[in-house]
Amino acid sequence: MLNNNTLIEATDLSRHYEVSNGLFGGKSTVKALSSASFHLQAGSTLAVVGESGCGKSTLARVVTMIEPPTAGQLILDGHRISGDISLTDEQRAELRASVQIVFQDPFGSLNPRQSIGRILEEPVLINRPSVSPTQREQQAREMLAMVGLRPEHYDRYPHMFSGGQRQRIAVARALMLEPRILVLDEPVSALDLSIQSQILNLLVELQERLNLAYLFISHDLSVVRHMADEVMVMYLGRVVESGSAAAVFDSPKHPYTQALLSATPVADPTREQTRIRLQGELPSPLNPPAGCAFNPRCWRAQDRCRVTAPELSDEGTHIVACYFPLHD
């Protein structure tokens, strides 16, 4: 039974891409996302962390229904979405309104030729044609106030705003259709430190006020630690560790999570540096290593790791996909 508050329920969600290897190379499959399972409750934040190519953006695209999953099941706000069942266009549009996304780059995600008012009203114009123009405008003006912008900004254009203000506009646009789930794809990584805290505060405030569920995608672990309730660590398309933020950060069990935590610079010059040196780089998703994807870079890898990939298993406080998890 699903809890009433569960907005996303994903089971073994996968997204594979077919890529051609040139004229005679045939086709091969990129497993951008393989069997990810998680759920997200209203009013809480699930953070997805990992390096580039780990599948976190693919996950965002699947959850926002930009792309259908190739396998597995996704239940969004009580509606089932999977590769085999096709929804009608109407159902799809309705569901899309409940999941909205904020992109990383506030300079590229706003149309420079539209005024802020027009940018904010467009989602309503498309999805709710019955709303009258005056009502739309009123909604947009209320939204401006909600994200901390002034009413006179309604008629201005994106180039007149700084990065932080643009990100506020992007958040406002995402909220226009009153979604219940907001996917935040690196929302603060393009911003300066002093602006970053303003946007994070805004997000926290909006979540409390509107009881939003956040799928927070980031590579900045200090931001994740501040925002997240639950954390999911991904490596090469697979979830390697998942659990409550406190459990994952305080007692990381997967070697990759530990390496990631130790590689993150901490703003404290007096701290002893105990850095785990990871050799090499992320392998290509086209040709992943046999067994556990992390084994070529792992210092604990043994023969078993090079043969079969470990499944996620319960390790007391949270779940980990490793044969030799670390203990404190």
Residues 6+ away with beta carbon under 8 Å from 180: 7, 42, 77, 98, 99, 211, 212, 213
> What's phi and psi for 236, nearest 5 deg?
50, 50
246 binds other proteins (CB under 8 A): no
Q: How far is the CB of 167 from other proteins (least distance, A)?
A: 12
Q: 204 or 246: whose CB is closer to other proteins?
A: 204
288 binds other proteins (CB under 8 A): no
Among 19, 145, 263, 307, binds other proteins (CB under 8 A): 263
164 binds other proteins (CB under 8 A): yes
Tokens found for residue 236: 């090469």
Which among 250, 196, 245 has a CA at the least distance from the CA of 224? 245
Going by their DSSP bridges, the two strands 45-49 and 230-235 should be labelled as parallel
264 binds other proteins (CB under 8 A): yes
Q: DSSP code of 13?
A: E
Q: How far is the CB of 94 from other proteins (least distance, A)?
A: 32
Return the range that interacts with other proteins (CB under 8 A); candidates 134-142, 150-158, 168-176, 267-275: 267-275
Return the range that interacts with other proteins (CB under 8 A); candidates 67-75, 110-118, 120-128, 163-171: 163-171
266 binds other proteins (CB under 8 A): yes
108 binds other proteins (CB under 8 A): no
Helix or strand or coil: residue 197? helix
Tokens found for residue 253: 């069990």
Task: For the segment 198-217, give every residue that binds other proteins (CB under 8 A).
Answer: 198, 200-201, 204-205
CA distances in angstroms from 253 to 77, 233, 238, 248, 316, listed in the order given: 32, 11, 16, 8, 10
Provide the binding-site residues for other proteins, judged by CB under 8 A.
51-52, 162-165, 192-198, 200-201, 204-205, 219, 221-223, 225-227, 259-260, 263-271, 273, 275, 277-278, 281-282
